[in-house]
Amino acid sequence: MGYVRAVKQLPRQVKPEMVMWYDDNRKVLLEGVTGVLSDLSEEGSD
């Protein structure tokens, strides 16, 4: 959370809460993609 001030200057968002919301959504999407890739790699090794 220490970088919120620096990150706030980069996007077009004015509110730091929005930057954090986008960051949280990106994390959720990344976890989902990681799970799918993990499942695919397990299927390929059978």
pLDDT digits (tens, 9 = 90+) for 2-46: 666 666 656 666 677 877 887 787 888 888 888 888 988 888 776
**pLDDT greater than 60 at residue 1:** no
What is the reported pLDDT for 7? 63
Total domains present in the chain: 1
Domain that holds residue 39: 4-44
Span 24-35, pLDDT tens digits = 878 888 888 888
Q: Which residue has the tokens 């730091």?
A: 16
DSSP assignment string, 1-46:
-TTHHHHHHSSS-S-HHHHHHHHHHHHHHHHHHHHHHHHHHHHHT-
